[in-house]
């Protein structure tokens, strides 16, 4: 059974950094494209970044390009999201997700309709 668990969220000041982790269990995470998403209060869930399974290629939405970096460590079945230069508008619950069938990173990041989600981790950017 596919299980995803996010961690690493917390309270950080504007301009600060956090690294989020998405740990997979019950499946070989390296076979799947993995995406990071977030949902702020009163807003729809949105995609941030996705990473491919086969070559580690990455996709970022414009709002996080140059600030966020996605990476994967298949030895530990974990995908990371390094977030730098955080802004108050980055405050949200952050989720990782994947699908049971093969999907491109653009396809994964183009929708929030996915088969498997973690429980989310709260990120709060505030002084």
Tens of pLDDT along the chain (127 residues)?
889 999 999 999 999 999 999 999 888 888 899 999 999 999 999 999 999 988 889 999 999 999 999 999 989 999 999 999 999 999 999 999 999 888 899 999 999 999 999 999 999 999 9
| Residues facing residue 51 across a β-bridge | 34, 58
pLDDT at 70: 97
pLDDT at 121: 98
DSSP category for residue 29 = G
Rg (CA), the chain: 13
C-alpha to C-alpha distances, 90 to 33, 38, 52, 99, 114, nearest whole angstrom: 23, 9, 24, 25, 22
User: Is residue 107 classed as helix, strand or coil in its secondary structure?
Assistant: helix
pLDDT at 66: 96
Give the per-residue SS3 of 59-115.
Answer: EECHHHCCCEEEEEECCCCEEEEEECCCCHHHCEEEEEEECCCCCCHHHHHCCCCCC
pLDDT at 9: 98
pLDDT at 31: 87
């Amino acid at each position: 059974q596919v299980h995803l668990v996010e961690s690493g969220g917390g309270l950080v000041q504007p301009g600060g950094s956090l690294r989020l982790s998405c740990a997979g269990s019950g499946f070989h995470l390296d076979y799947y494209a993995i995406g990071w998403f977030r949902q702020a209060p009163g807003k729809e869930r949105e995609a941030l970044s996705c990473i491919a399974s086969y070559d580690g290629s990455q996709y970022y939405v414009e709002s996080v390009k140059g600030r966020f970096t996605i990476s994967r460590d298949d030895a530990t079945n974990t995908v990371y999201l390094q977030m730098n230069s955080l802004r108050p508008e980055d405050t949200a619950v952050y989720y990782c997700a994947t699908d049971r069938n093969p999907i491109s990173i653009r396809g994964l990041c183009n929708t929030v309709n996915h088969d498997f989600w973690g429980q989310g981790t709260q990120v709060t950017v505030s002084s």
